[in-house]
Chains A and B, each alone.
Chain A
Amino acid sequence: MPYISNTDNERKQMLAEIGVDKFEKLVENIPQKFRENVKLQLGDAMSELEISRKISELANKNNAIVNSFLGAGIYDHFIPAAVDHIVLNPEFHTAYTPYQAEVSQGTLQYIYEYQTLICELTGMEISNAGMYDGATAAAEAILMAVRKTKKFRAVIAGTVNPDFIEVIKAYTEGIEIELITIPVKNGQVDLDILKTEMNDETACFLLQTPNYFGNIEDVFAIEKIVHATKKALFITAVDPISLSLLNAPSEYKADIVIGEGQALGNGMNFGGPLFGFLATNLKLSRSMPGRIVGATLDADGETAYALTLQAREQHIRRAKATSNICSNEALCCLAATVYMCLMGKDGMKKVAEQSATKAHYLANEIEKLDGFSRTFNVPFFKEFAINTPIPAKKIIEKLKVKNIFPGVAIGENMLLLAVTEKKRKCDLDELVKALAEVQND
């Protein structure tokens, strides 16, 4: 039997030592009628060879080798080979939550380093050890603001990723938080309406920058509006890749910074696992969700690491916890940590710079095509929207046969295109050519 060590003989010996003659005796207290006739129709056990064949057949039904411009939160950035070698190290891979600090220093220290890296990127003072994904991190940030301000009204930019907004709805509906969405104006949040909606009963404003459409929001103007209210906290959702080029959120006085972390060294994996990061300032630390690692000392006075501020968490506070999260996405945070170390100061900048310049090249080339134009005339980072002369869905359909995924359809005649450093000029030109031809054939 795969992965079960004991032989029938050993089983017998053990049953004898327990003092029963057969296994069934151990579960006799379970009402008989529940135990009778339990069948599992799962098919026969497969061998390693058989399942390997089956799985590669299934994988081959997926088209993974394409010239893709899909983004909308999940990005195909380059991942150095060393990342996965470290992730696969069973000492990280087959450990669990570092509750026993003395035999978990490896995990604890990399989380401490992860927290430091996130703080460096965002300019914030404290990061937790990660959330389920960017969307749940956004939801938890809003819950945090509500907890802190005791106001049950949250304002959200209409330019935030709609998947985030859906998840936020699910997370805030039970606690009856009123959600206000600010309309979009030329691909950015409408500042005039934001001004009228921000009032002293507001817990927070959630902004995404670069936003869902790839556009950079006017963070400095927005900060003034948000902080003009009595209590409201300024939450920003950011693309971590952008932060080597764009303002650190601390530069525009964000109070809570969250984001989807997948782009940092994690594959796309059909959208999971992902991980969310969440960072803030020390004065909000006790309202934070999730695990946090701190440096401390051991009995010999040596530096050591341990879980800290646990009095916020479900295993201690139960119904009064700041969140229900327990298991998180630790290994994805490890991949991100290794990625940031390998790419380092210079590499992270180059990734951001190449993504942005290639995206701008592509946007310029597409604008030269008849019938195509950029939807919004505002600054963007690595993703942008275009208006299309024929329905976006039709373009996707037509380019699929050429192994090109031209982007996400975000309107009848609108496509959202993402570009990363992995794209070569020839990949970009191939898309431009295909778009040029799309009206003809």
Chain B
Amino acid sequence: MTKTIFEKTSVGRTGFTLPQNDVDAANGIPENFKRKVDANLPEVSELDVMRHFTELGAKNHSVEKGFYPLGSCTMKYNPKLNETLVRNAGFSNIHPLQPQETVQGALEILFELQQDLAEISGLPAVTLQPVAGAHGEFAGLKIMSAYHKAKENKKTKIILPDSAHGTNPASVILAGYEVVEIASNEKGMVDIEALKNAVDEETAGFMLTNPNTLGIFETQIEEIAEIIHRVDGLMYMDGANLNALLGIVKPGEIGFDIMHFNLHKTFATPHGGGGPGSGPVGVRADLEQFLPIPQISQNNGNYFLDFGHKQTSTGKIHSFYGNFAVNVRAYIYIKMLGENGMKRVSENAIINANYILKKLEKYYDIPFNEYCMHEFVASGNWQKEENGVSTFDIAKRILDKGYHAPTVYFPLIVKEAMMIEPTETESKETLDEFIEAMIEIAKEAKENPELLKTAPLNTPVKRVDDTLAVRQLNVKFKIGN
């Protein structure tokens, strides 16, 4: 266990330098507005800090440490070049409110990124303002709502399948709609009959992840879109799984009207232990007027923040123009791959996923076993029934083998789900080793189920009690005790 930084404090120790204050003035703060008791902040040296965080870092699994098949999250390699280039002071040190003539390079990048994402999605207008997937969902649903208001459509609900990610229903509520959840069919796809039954004149739209959260392409997409469009609903695509579609199909050409991108997934920007991400939204041409303000536009080579559609816009959902520094990284990534590289990304992601699927199908239940896209969902059902170990136990044992676990217990429609997404950046050897480990775990489940139930054993800490973390809530360190 690593002591907290607060326990490493030594009174009077410092880890900073600042110039002498060279002005002679008072701080002007009236006595009653001055803080009464000092904040108990650490007093440590720079070396103390470096050692502390280096020690903490070593307790993390990360893409650069090893394979990270966390389904739906697209844990691909993050190019180092992007980190170097984005740290140019010309990016890191510009203020969002400085005169636009002095940020032409930044605006040019954003403008081009809007265009590149439009090209990739087949949806011609893109906003870069949302900073995460869920933020993009919210923006997209607000655009939907603005569309219906403009047409004076009376719409109250959004339909989504039960395989949807939790952010989808949560975003629907935030946008002021009701959620109508429909059960998936026996193939794990949208049940057309259920959809037809759910749709009525008050349907604002349908939210769908495609490929869906089982890693399966929704082949009836055309029919689905027709059903929704018939009542003037809009088709929203959760683009979390876009890594399967680059250069293969364009969401805008298969019936979707609005989608969000997860640049931190598909476009290789680092996940950063939970963020920052970026969640741009693309829309069909007639919805452009509803995008958040400002858009980035261009006039004779002059780039500018465009508030022209202020009257119809859904407004602002972020202080400024989204996660600029994340967007720069995605821009570089797209430029480095070009058309052929993009297509290659999805092809290899799909091949890698199918390869693992094929090699594991004898050892783990694959409830919807067909060729998958960039990921697939296995289940710990067999192990649960035959050996009394759960997916939870299997996941913990995977940690012991030096890998991150797959996404578990999602989607909710698969019991004991394990969602495996290798990404295109992983090599065949890595996949072979992982497959080997998974087979070994299946064997261990049979021969020594206790081992799995007590796993992990080789990790920085043993199995963590997360119910205790709720029961005896301790969310800040008690300094000085």
Q: Do A and B come from one complex?
A: yes
Chain A residue contacts of B24, Cβ below 8 A:
361
Partner pick for A282 among B13, B62, B316, B473, CB 8 A cutoff: B473
State in angstroms the CA–CA spacing of A20 and B175 once bound together: 45
Contact call B476/A126, Cβ cutoff below 8 A: yes
Say whether B198 faces chain A, with CB atoms less than 8 Å apart. Answer: no
Contact call B119/A40, Cβ cutoff below 8 A: yes
Known: A134-B319, A327-B275, A358-B25. A269 touches B166 (CB 8 A): no
Q: Which residue of A lies closest to B120 (CB)?
A: A40
Q: How far, in Å, is A246 (CB) from chain B's closest CB?
A: 6
State in angstroms the CA–CA spacing of A174 and B176 once bound together: 4
State in angstroms the CA–CA spacing of A164 and B405 once bound together: 39
Contact call B105/A302, Cβ cutoff below 8 A: no
Closest 10 CB pairs of A and B: A174-B176, A271-B320, A59-B90, A271-B96, A61-B105, A331-B272, A330-B274, A45-B338, A91-B57, A5-B427
Contact call B247/A38, Cβ cutoff below 8 A: yes
Chain A residue contacts of B88, Cβ below 8 A:
55-56, 59
Say whether B232 faces chain A, with CB atoms less than 8 Å apart. Answer: no
Contact call B35/A251, Cβ cutoff below 8 A: yes
Q: Which of A182-190, A193-201, A336-344 contacts B (4 or more CB under 8 A)?
A: A336-344
Contact call B18/A324, Cβ cutoff below 8 A: no
Contact call B73/A268, Cβ cutoff below 8 A: no
Q: Which of B281-289, B438-446, B462-470 contacts A (4 or more CB under 8 A)?
A: B462-470
Contact call B62/A94, Cβ cutoff below 8 A: yes
Say whether A180 faces chain B, with CB atoms less than 8 Å apart. Answer: no
Contact call B22/A425, Cβ cutoff below 8 A: yes
Contact call B462/A14, Cβ cutoff below 8 A: no
State in angstroms the CA–CA spacing of A168 and B78 once bound together: 34
Contact call B53/A86, Cβ cutoff below 8 A: yes
Q: Which residue of B lies closest to A220 (CB)?
A: B32
Known: A170-B316, A345-B38. A330 touches B272 (CB 8 A): yes
Chain B residue contacts of A91, Cβ below 8 A:
57-58, 60, 62, 64-65
Say whether B197 faces chain A, with CB atoms less than 8 Å apart. Answer: no
Q: List 15 A-B contacts (CB under 8 A).
A: A4-B348, A14-B351, A56-B88, A62-B105, A90-B62, A96-B274, A100-B405, A103-B61, A106-B60, A127-B475, A136-B318, A246-B29, A357-B28, A358-B21, A397-B99
Known: A4-B344, A85-B50, A103-B404. A360 touches B89 (CB 8 A): no
Chain B 134-150 interface residues, beta-carbon cutoff 8 Å to A: 134-135, 137-138, 142, 145
Chain B 369-415 interface residues, beta-carbon cutoff 8 Å to A: 370-371, 373, 395-396, 399, 404-405, 407, 410
Chain B proximity mask over A51-76: 1 for CB below 8 Å, otherwise 0:
11011111111111110101011101
State in angstroms the CA–CA spacing of A239 and B464 once bound together: 36
Contact call B169/A17, Cβ cutoff below 8 A: no
Q: How far, in Å, is B172 (CB) from chain A's closest CB?
A: 7
Chain A residue contacts of B137, Cβ below 8 A:
324
Partner pick for B248 among A35, A135, A175, CB 8 A cutoff: A35
State in angstroms the CA–CA spacing of A92 and B64 once bound together: 10
Contact call B272/A4, Cβ cutoff below 8 A: no
Q: Which of A111-119, A152-160, A224-232, A433-441 contacts B (4 or more CB under 8 A)?
A: A111-119
Contact call A345/B41, Cβ cutoff below 8 A: yes
Contact call A40/B247, Cβ cutoff below 8 A: yes
Q: How far, in Å, is A377 (CB) from chain B's closest CB?
A: 12
Chain A proximity mask over B200-221: 1 for CB below 8 Å, otherwise 0:
0000000000000000010101
Partner pick for A115 among B22, B92, B254, B475, CB 8 A cutoff: B475
Contact call A55/B332, Cβ cutoff below 8 A: yes
Extra inter-chain contacts (16) besides given A80-B15, A90-B62, A345-B41, CB under 8 Å = A3-B268, A3-B425, A35-B248, A63-B103, A90-B64, A102-B396, A136-B317, A175-B174, A248-B37, A305-B464, A319-B179, A331-B270, A332-B276, A342-B46, A408-B97, A424-B19
Contact call A260/B319, Cβ cutoff below 8 A: yes
Q: Which residue of B lies closest to A85 (CB)?
A: B50
Known: A45-B341, A61-B104, A89-B57. A316 touches B166 (CB 8 A): yes
Partner pick for B341 among A2, A80, A99, A127, CB 8 A cutoff: A2
Say whether B54 faces chain A, with CB atoms less than 8 Å apart. Answer: yes
Contact call A361/B23, Cβ cutoff below 8 A: yes
Known: A134-B319, A269-B92, A272-B324. A360 touches B35 (CB 8 A): no
Chain A residue contacts of B169, Cβ below 8 A:
314, 318-319
Chain A residue contacts of B78, Cβ below 8 A:
93-94
Q: How far, in Å, is B294 (CB) from chain A's closest CB?
A: 11
Chain B proximity mask over A323-336: 1 for CB below 8 Å, otherwise 0:
11111111110100
Number of interface residues of B (CB under 8 A): 202
Chain A residue contacts of B271, Cβ below 8 A:
94-97, 327
Contact call A62/B459, Cβ cutoff below 8 A: no
Say whether A125 faces chain B, with CB atoms less than 8 Å apart. Answer: yes
Contact call B474/A295, Cβ cutoff below 8 A: yes
Partner pick for A2 among B165, B336, B396, B405, CB 8 A cutoff: B336
Q: How far, in Å, is B438 (CB) from chain A's closest CB?
A: 16
Contact call B79/A3, Cβ cutoff below 8 A: yes
Chain B residue contacts of A361, Cβ below 8 A:
23-25
- Max chain B Cβ within 10 angstroms of own Cβ: one of A3, A107, A115, A357: A3
Chain B 57-107 interface residues, beta-carbon cutoff 8 Å to A: 57-65, 68, 70, 73, 75-79, 81, 83, 85, 87-99, 101-106
Q: How far, in Å, is B402 (CB) from chain A's closest CB?
A: 9
State in angstroms the CA–CA spacing of A2 and B373 once bound together: 21
State in angstroms the CA–CA spacing of A5 and B247 once bound together: 19
Contact call A268/B335, Cβ cutoff below 8 A: no
Contact call A247/B41, Cβ cutoff below 8 A: no
Say whether B339 faces chain A, with CB atoms less than 8 Å apart. Answer: yes
Chain A proximity mask over B32-47: 1 for CB below 8 Å, otherwise 0:
1111111111111010
Q: How far, in Å, is B410 (CB) from chain A's closest CB?
A: 7
Chain A residue contacts of B306, Cβ below 8 A:
none
Partner pick for B16 among A19, A51, A97, A343, CB 8 A cutoff: A343
Chain B residue contacts of A293, Cβ below 8 A:
475
Say whether A369 faces chain B, with CB atoms less than 8 Å apart. Answer: no
State in angstroms the CA–CA spacing of A340 and B461 once bound together: 27
Contact call A97/B273, Cβ cutoff below 8 A: yes
Known: A134-B319, A308-B470, A330-B275. A353 touches B21 (CB 8 A): yes
Say whether B132 faces chain A, with CB atoms less than 8 Å apart. Answer: yes
Partner pick for B345 among A4, A76, A116, CB 8 A cutoff: A4
Q: How far, in Å, is B325 (CB) from chain A's closest CB?
A: 4
Q: How far, in Å, is A273 (CB) from chain B's closest CB?
A: 4
Say whether B155 faces chain A, with CB atoms less than 8 Å apart. Answer: no
Q: Which residue of A lies closest to B11 (CB)?
A: A345
Say whether B326 faces chain A, with CB atoms less than 8 Å apart. Answer: yes
State in angstroms the CA–CA spacing of A18 and B97 once bound together: 54
